[in-house]
Amino acid sequence: MTAARAMRVAFLTSSRLWRGSGVSLAKIAAGLGERGHQPHMLAGSPVVRDAFAELGLPATVVRTRKTGLREARELRRQLRALGTEALLVDKPRDLRLASVATLGFRTALLYRYNHSVLGGPLGIRTRLLLRRAAGCIFQSERVRQQALQRTPWLGRARAWVIPNGYDLSRFARSSAAGTEFRLRNGVAPDAAVVVTVSALEKGKGQDVAIEAMARVGRGSQGVYVVCGEGDQEPRLRMLAAQAALPTLFMGYLGVADVVAAFSAADVVVHPSLHDIFPNAVGEAMACGCAVIASEVGGVGELVGRDGTAGILVPPGDPGALAHAIGILLADPARREALGAAARRRIESDFPLTRMLDAYETVLRASIVCTRPALT
């Protein structure tokens, strides 16, 4: 196989709703497509398939609710029809399904580690099936270390660390978009706006941010803008009402509206109690926002720990978060300096091209090692 040969790569996700993992897989796939490769998305629901399709990516729905033989046979047929040379998965259940579906195939199977601490440790079944994979991709060095501490046998698999990368042309602050966002949502030009972009799910920490915002005591002058959807929304609405905190629940937003929200923000807060390498933080930094984030997973590697490109706080600590929010809302010059440094950090350390180069290299090497042939 020559260095210029196009690769046929499939991406499998069993997520029922559009989440950060889908965003990441779409980013990788789109970048590979622009480089002449042939990506195809295999989605566990029509919602996720349609989200991929809206981004211009070919996508097919496959059964993923169970990981039995019926589902494996269906996936096997799809992979055969596509002539798949490499399959990238990012959930343990998808690894299990893909391992069975590709038995007998010389296709490169790669596991992009994305295991929630809420899901319990990886079991013996996953351990056995991981032997089928060409290796494991971690999104940060700290996440790799934490994964090995929690699941030592992962250390036997070949591993790479590939952080997320971000497109500075798509994620760039726009004063006009920020002004329009405030007008459209009835937010006064002089109001303090704090924004969080994240799924409204257990452990994402919006409840911590609501308590922190209430402690800041900005009253009617401050607005908390919550972008995302999920089953925690009714509870979060109740908490915001009890705290008398002006809060806008925006639901799921596309890229243009996320950029507008970031552009309207004085501060972006990512209060998650657990995370891997959140796209929302990197995208806010690319937009030149002053970011406060919980130091979980790879967030410290993304933001930096010296305080020049963002502020890290302990997870689940509303007092520390309130203190950081209060300091930044009172200091426009520091907000501006943090935002400028954040964008420079993304440009120098986490550009999209660097991530794509790494995935292209790993995929090509894995395909060569497994001698691609679906027959």
Distance between CA 241 and CA 219 in Å, rounded?
12
- Give the CA distances from residue 279 to residues 4, 118, 271, 283, in Å, rounded to whole numbers and listed in that order: 30, 20, 14, 6
Question: Which pLDDT belongs to residue 93?
Answer: 85
Instruction: Kindly give the residue spans of alpha helices, DSSP state H, lying in 55-122.
Output: 69-82, 92-101
Distance between CA 186 and CA 196 in Å, rounded?
18
Distance between CA 48 and CA 26 in Å, rounded?
10
Domain map of the chain by residue range?
8-165+352-370, 175-349
Question: Which pLDDT belongs to residue 129?
Answer: 66
175-349 has the same fold as 8-165+352-370 = yes
Are the CB atoms for 238 and 207 separated by under 8 Å?
no
Dump pLDDT digits (tens) for 57-110: 999 999 988 878 889 999 999 999 999 999 999 888 898 899 989 988 889 999
The beta-carbon contacts of 60-65 under 8 Å, at least 24 apart in sequence, are: 62/12, 64/12, 64/14, 64/93, 64/94, 64/97, 65/14
User: Which residue numbers in the chain have pLDDT < 70?
Assistant: 1-4, 116-130, 218-221, 370-375
Question: Which pLDDT belongs to residue 124?
Answer: 60
Q: pTM score, two decimals?
A: 0.92
Are the CB atoms for 108 and 160 separated by under 8 Å?
no
CATH superfamily of 175-349: Glycogen Phosphorylase B; (3.40.50.2000)
Dump pLDDT digits (tens) for 178-221: 999 999 999 999 999 999 999 999 999 999 999 999 999 754 46
Distance between CA 1 and CA 243 in Å, rounded?
62
Burial bucket for residue 308 (CB in 10 Å: 0-12, 13-18, 19+): middle
Q: What share of the chain is helix, strand, coil (3-state, %, to 5)?
A: 50, 15, 35
- Give the CA distances from residue 80 to residues 13, 33, 38, 104, 362, in Å, rounded to whole numbers and listed in that order: 18, 20, 14, 12, 22
Question: Which pLDDT belongs to residue 127?
Answer: 63
CATH superfamily of 8-165+352-370: Glycogen Phosphorylase B; (3.40.50.2000)
Please list the residues that pair with 223 across neighbouring strands.
Answer: 193
DSSP state letters, 211-258:
HHHHHHT-GGGEEEEEEB--TTHHHHHHHHHHTT--EEEEES--HHHH
Count of C-beta atoms within a 10 Å radius of residue 261:
28
Closest residue by Cα to residue 10 from 95, 87, 69: 87
Question: Which pLDDT belongs to residue 220?
Answer: 46
Question: Which pLDDT belongs to residue 375?
Answer: 31
Closest residue by Cα to residue 239 from 260, 213, 217: 213
Given the structure tokens 């590979």, which residue do they identify? Answer: 32
Question: Which pLDDT belongs to residue 299?
Answer: 97
What is the C-alpha radius of gyration for the chain, rounded to an integer number of angstroms? 21
